[in-house]
Structures are given as C-alpha cells and as structure tokens.
Amino acid sequence: MEKSPDLHIKLADLHLNNPLILASGVMGTSPALLQRMALSGAGAVTSKSCGPEKREGHPNPVLVEWEHGLLNAIGLTNPGAAEEVALLIQAKEILAPLEVPLFASIFAGTIDEFGRVASVIADADPDLIEVNISCPNVHDDYGLPFAADSKSAAAVTRIVKASVGDIPIAVKLAPNVPNIGLIAQAVEAAGADAITAVNTMPGMVIDADAAHPVLYNKTGGISGPALKPIALRCVAEIATHVNIPIIGTGGVLTGQDAIEMILAGATAVGVGSALWYRGPDVFSIILEELRAFMKVHKIQNIQEIIGKALQN
Ligand SMILES: Cc1cc2nc3c(=O)[nH]c(=O)nc-3n(C[C@H](O)[C@H](O)[C@H](O)COP(=O)(O)O)c2cc1C
C-alpha cells in the first residue's frame, strides 16, 4: 500500500504534526477557538498579540474585503498581559492532549516594555513566544515599527530572549522594508530561534461614492491573496541570509500556496486570512490538498522541498 506523505516538521526544537500554523490575530486568544483550530488540523496555533495594558483597538470599521485580499486595522485589541496569562494557561491545558503547540504573540511600545511583557507571558509557559515588532496599524500610538530597522529589531530580540528563560522565540518581520534579509540576519545574531515573515502590508481602500477611506483608521494592513507574492519574495530573501527556520506567512489559502511558501524557504506556513475565505475547517482542507499535491509530485517528506525553488 502507498505510504501517506510525511508532513511532520521540526521548528526550533519543537515537533509539529504538520507545517500549518494559525497566524496571530485571526482567532483571538479564546482557548475554545484555539482548540477548534487544533481540532481542524493546525500543526500549531498562535494567540492574538498581547501588550502591557488592555487596549480597546480602533473604532469600526476595522476590516474590509476588497478584490484581492483583506484590509484590517483592528488596532491590537487585547486584555493586557496579566489577564492574557490566564487565557494562555487554559489554552495550553486544552491543547496539550492534542499535541498542538501554543505560540503566544506579544507586542510593546518600547524595548524595555517588550522585556516586561515577555517575562509576564513566559509565566504561562507557551511553547514559543512570537514577537510582533511589525504591526502597521498603530503608528499613532507607537511610531515606526521596530521591524523597520536592524538595530531596533535586534535590541527587542535580545531583551525578549533574556526575559523568557528557555522558551524559544520567533520574531515577526514587516514586508515594507528594503532590506528584510539584513534585518533577519540581525535578529538571528541577537538570539531569535525562528523568523515569522510577514506581517500585513500597509494599504488603503477608498469608497469612491463616499469619497472617503473605508476603514475608520483610514489605512490598514493588506492580507490574503495580494500579499502572497510579496511574502514569497520576503521568505526567499530571508532564507538566503539566515540558518534559523522561517514561518512563511501571507496569502496562503490552499495546499498549493503552502507548497510555494515552503519551496521559497519556509519550514512552516502561517494561515490567517484563509479562515475568512474558506471557513473554520480550513486546516483540514489545506492538509488534504497538501497530501494530494505531495502524492502527485512523489514528495515523501515535506521537509525535502524547503527552499527547493531557489536551489538552481
Ligand atoms: C484580522 C487580522 C488581525 C491580525 N492581528 C494580528 C496580530 O494581533 N498580531 C500579528 O502579529 N499579526 C496579526 N495579523 C497578521 C497575520 O498574523 C498575518 O501575518 C497576515 O494576515 C498575513 O497572513 P494571511 O495573508 O494568511 O492573513 C492580523 C491579520 C488579520 C487579517
């Protein structure tokens, strides 16, 4: 009988049953919803980014679908680190029997604050901490993202790494920089165990009849199909600059999209907007598509094809 393709991956000393990871922010931090994603087949799940204090986020409208993707400016709505820890502890308990690792996403406004949030969140003992230095929707409150510059990105990486004991960290980069490879290199040298690439791309949707931007925040972050070629290029560039694994994120809606991301150099694949387009069972759907593709192309083990598109 034909063997089923092997989808297991290793990411920063963690073993995942498959490379698909729920991207941060799309399902919040509700333990029940994270469990739902795990039951649907996610290899790991990431919580919504959490900061030092409770934030209400931006007024509505905060999300719009347009021809080629989504545009959102949620504004990092979250309950604050102290309350988040309780949710993460519950989520970890629920996910443990399913053998699905929990990644906890954090953000902050200053380098020291990143250290403080990281050490509070480490109390929940997540399997990995994802450091969001790249949210495009909070310039008014926080100024330029730390992901805009190698030195700031490395400084955040160092302080988070020093604040979380032996919990591995992934640093999440922004697509709208001219030198993402060099930023990734700086983050690796500062101690990151993995890189998540990418966050959303700044954009705007205008309603011509109303003569006004659709989002209350006016600008937002583009995700979904329009982001895929941008994310693929970022992943491919990062892959030539670092040796740590990459979680390729941006516009993955199908099994074939996930294959493209891995061929570009990603070890794992973030799945976010696909939940909007294909519903809550999206992980099992993409997994089936991945297996079918691997059978047709005689790929035994998904790790065989990491970075293969750029090897010749
Ligand atoms: C509604 C929404 C909320 C998001 N919130 C966060 C967040 O809190 N933290 C973060 O790092 N990324 C956040 N993101 C970005 C996603 O994690 C992901 O990087 C991006 O959407 C690209 O992947 P996709 O095209 O698969 O959605 C959010 C994206 C969306 C659509």
For residues 197-214, average pLDDT: 97
Fill in the DSSP letter of residue 215.
S
242: nearest Cα among 263, 271, 267: 267
Q: Which atom of ligand 1 is nearest to the CA of 76?
A: 8
For residue range 109-151, list pLDDT tens digits in order.
Answer: 999 999 999 999 999 999 999 999 987 766 766 777 899 999 9
Pocket of ligand 1 (CB under 6 A): 23-26, 48-49, 63, 70, 72, 74, 76, 105, 132, 135, 172, 199-200, 223-224, 227, 249-252, 270-274
Evaluate if residue 108 carries a pLDDT over 70.
yes
What percentage of the chain has pLDDT greater than the value 70? Answer: 98
Reported as a single tens digit per residue, the pLDDT across 12-22 is 999 999 999 99
- Is residue 184 within 8 Å of 197, Cβ to Cβ? yes
